[in-house]
Structure 1
Amino acid sequence: MELPAVNLKVILLVHWLLTTWGCIAFSGSYAWSNFTILALGVWAVAQRDSIDAIGMFLGGLVTTIFLDIVYISIFYSKFATGDTGRFSAGMAILSLLLKPFSCCLVYHMHRERGGELRPGFFGPSQERSVYQTIDSPDSPAEPFADLEDRGQAVPRGY
C-alpha cells in the first residue's frame, strides 16, 4: 500500500492546531506532552537529514497516543461539561484519532531518511562517521606535545 506524500510541516500544523484547541479544557500534562513532541517535530523539520530527529518524533507520537488515552479517559467527565469543554475534548480526541495515521506517515519519512526499526532503535545514533575515536592514530599521545615542540606555551595543569 502506497502512502500519500504528506509534508511533515502539514502534520505538525494539524496536530499543533488540534492540541491548542484541546488545551482549552485539558492543560497540564496533556499540554506538556503534546507540545514537547511537537517541538521534536520542529527539530525533524529543521534537520531534514537527521535520523535521530525523525525517530524521536515518531517515538514521541507513539508515546502520546498512550498518554492521551489515559489523560482523556481520566479527565473527560471533569472538563467536558459545557460547550467549550466538549469542543476542547472533541479536538483532543480528533488529534488522538489522527495520531496513528500520522505515525504511519512519519514512519515512512523515517525509512526515507535511512532509518530502520530494530532492537537497538533507541540506542546510539548510526551517524558515527563524524566522530574521531579515542584510539585514533591521528591523536597525539601527549595532548600538548606539538605545542612544546614549536616552543609555544602549554596550558597550566598539564
Structure 2
Amino acid sequence: MPSISIKAIVLVHWILVMWTTLGWIPSSFLYPNLSVLIVGFWAVADKQSVDAVFMFIVMQIGSVLVDIVTLSLYFPPYNAVGQAKFSAGMAILNLILKPFSTILLYQMYSDRGGQYNINFGPNTPSYDQIDGNPNDSATKQGSSAYFPPPPTAQQES
C-alpha cells in the first residue's frame, strides 16, 4: 500500500467539501462532513493517538451512509445551473474517495498500534487464569473452576 499521510487525506476531503459548498449544499451533507474533518484535524494534530484515527475511520464510514442518503434525496434537478452540478459532482467524487481513504486510514491505525479484533465463537476465553497451573486436570476437562470432591464417610472417621 502506498504511504499517504493523514494530512493528505484530510486536505483532499477538505477541498472536496469546500467545492461542494459552492452551489448546492443541504445542511445534512455539510454538518457530518465538517464533523469528520474536525476529527481528521485531531488525528493530524495528535500524531500518537490511536483513538483519533479510529474515530476518524468510524466517522468516515458513517458519513458514507449519510452522503448516499443526502445525494439520493437532494440531488439537483436536470435543469440546474452549472454551479449546482459542479458541487454535486464534487460531493460524488468525495463519496467515491471515502472507501479508499478509509482503507489507508486503517493502515495508519494499525501502524500506530491499534488493533481491532472481533472474537466470536467457542474458543474465545472469557477470563484469564491468574492462579493455578494451566496444565491442571480441571482445565483439561473443560471445567472453569475446580471444586474438590465432597468428603465421604470413610474420610471423616
Both structures adopt the same fold (TM-score exceeding 0.5): yes
Shift in alpha-carbon separation, 1:39–1:90, aligned structure 2, 3 A: same
Aligned to 1:50: 49
Instruction: Provide the secondary structure at the position in 2 that maps to 1:77.
Output: coil
**Alpha carbons 2:76, 2:85 under 8 Å: kept:** no
Task: Report the CA distance between 1:119 and its aligned residue.
Answer: 4.2
Q: Rg: which structure is higher?
A: 2
Q: What's the CA shift string for 1:83-120, capped at 9, x where partnerless?
A: 00000000000000000000000000000011122349
The structure 1 segments of at least 4 consecutive aligned residues displaced by more than 2 Å after TM superposition are: 77-80
- In structure 2, runs of 5+ residues without a counterpart are 120-157
**Alpha carbons 2:53, 2:109 under 8 Å: kept:** yes
Task: Report the CA distance between 1:80 and its aligned residue.
Answer: 7.4
Alignment of 1:70-149 (within 5 A): 70-78=69-77, 81-119=80-118
- Paired AA for residue 45 in structure 2: A
Distance 2:38 2:60 in 1: 11
Matching of residue 41 in structure 1 with residue 35 in structure 2: no
Shift in alpha-carbon separation, 1:40–1:79, aligned structure 2, 3 A: farther
Root-mean-square deviation over aligned CA pairs: 1.7
Aligned to 1:65: 64
Distance 2:73 2:57 in 1: 25
Distance 2:66 2:28 in 1: 9
Aligned to 2:128: none
Aligned residue pairs total: 118
Distance 1:89 1:9 in 2: 24
- In structure 1, runs of 5+ residues without a counterpart are 121-158
**Alpha carbons 1:79, 1:85 under 8 Å: kept:** no
Normalised to the residue count of structure 2, the TM-score between the two structures is 0.71
Normalised to the residue count of structure 1, the TM-score between the two structures is 0.71
Equivalent in 1, 16, 19 of residue 18 of structure 1: 16
